Amino acid sequence: MSEIGVKNGVATMINVFHVEPEDQKKLVALLVETTESVMRHVPGFVSANIHASVDGTRVVNYAQWESEEHIEAMLADPEVHPHFAEVRAIARPERGTYRVVYVEEANPRD
Amino acid sequence: MSEIGVKNGVATMINVFHVEPEDQKKLVALLVETTESVMRHVPGFVSANIHASVDGTRVVNYAQWESEEHIEAMLADPEVHPHFAEVRAIARPERGTYRVVYVEEANPRD
């Protein structure tokens, strides 16, 4: 269970992958495998949260890192590049680094 | 504090808004206002989580609803349409409905 909050202090990387519906399952499996074998061992990793679109055309990785600097360092790490190439062979990623600015809940827990 | 989990049972609407950097703050304010005045009162609303990209070119609303049917009903609701039009005047939305398929955490809480 990951948490989204304005005061979490994490940096959020949201990556929307555009994919052919017949490749969506393969892409999810690839992102899960990359998270478990590589990303979770990279300094600053907080969480990865993988979402499959109902229409089959997209996968989103909502990933939390300790800081924007940790994201930059991960993106520059040559060890992760072969994994990005595997993903790019079947999907078009659209990545951004974000700050949470507002949270509104029907039933707030804090 | 919103929670992301495979077993949450919520439907997730992720909307990536492409915006000119000079309009990013205005867009965030508009989405916050729409959430507070309209969305949180729509049946099935669970949470809205608004993210501003560090580079200024995007805003993401990560919104949770009780079900995909609640999202469809909200999108078809004529009361919300004027608010969508206001947003579209300054931003290009790219919306998808998603299911959480995988969560990995550095320090799991459950």
Question: What is the tens place of the pLDDT at every residue in A48-69?
Answer: 999 999 999 999 999 999 999 9
CA B86 distance to own-chain centroid: 15
Q: What pTM was estimated for this model as a whole?
A: 0.95
What local confidence, expressed as pLDDT, does residue A109 receive? 59
Min Cα–Cα distance to chain B from A2, Å = 5
Phi, psi dihedral angles at B70 (to 5 degrees): -65, -35
Residue B79 lies in a domain: yes
Residue A62 lies in a domain: yes
Residue B35 lies in a domain: yes
Q: How many domains does chain B have?
A: 1
**Closest residue of chain A to B41, computed from CA coordinates:** A106
Residue A37 lies in a domain: yes
CA distance A2 to B110: 10
> Which of B3, B32, B101 has the CB atom closest to A102's CB atom?
B32
Q: What is the mean pLDDT of residues A75-86?
A: 91
ipTM of the complex model:
0.94
* Ranges of chain B with pLDDT below 70: 108-110
Print the domain residue range for B66.
Answer: 11-98
* Six-digit token string for B55: 């580079």
Residue B20 lies in a domain: yes
Angle between helices A81-88 and A24-37 (to 10 degrees): 170
Residue B34 lies in a domain: yes
CATH value at residue A33:
3.30.70.100
State whether A52 and B109 contact (CB < 8 Å): no
> Which of B94, B104, B109 has the CB atom closest to A35's CB atom?
B104
Residue B56 lies in a domain: yes
What local confidence, expressed as pLDDT, does residue B24 receive? 98
